[in-house]
Amino acid sequence: MKTRYIVRRREHWITSVIIWAMLVSLLALGVSGWALEKEFDKQTQEKMEKALDKVMEESRSPAAIVGVWAPGEGT
């Protein structure tokens, strides 16, 4: 019985280590990806802001949450 308990604890410990390693790896990949992202040029940003302002005014929306990600183009 005691041996079975030790084996299970070891299995849980190994599983936990593997999961943590995967999470840390994914986090590291995500952070490195953010560093490589470039921003849209000012003209494009202004066009997007004007379009958003127009839609918000027409719909009488008090606020909006907007995110734009275009791989290779900018954020």
Rounded Cα–Cα distance for residues 21 and 43 (Å): 42
Confidence of residue 70 (pLDDT cuts 50, 70, 90): confident
Closest CA to 73 of 47, 36, 27: 36
Q: Is the pLDDT of residue 60 over 80?
A: yes
| pLDDT recorded at residue 22 | 78
- Let me know: does 74 contact 38? Beta carbons within 8 Å: yes
| pLDDT recorded at residue 58 | 92
Rounded Cα–Cα distance for residues 17 and 5 (Å): 18
Rounded Cα–Cα distance for residues 1 and 74 (Å): 59
* Domain definitions of the chain by residue range: 1-36, 37-75
Model confidence over 19-59: pLDDT tens digits?
877 777 777 666 555 555 678 889 999 999 999 999 989 99
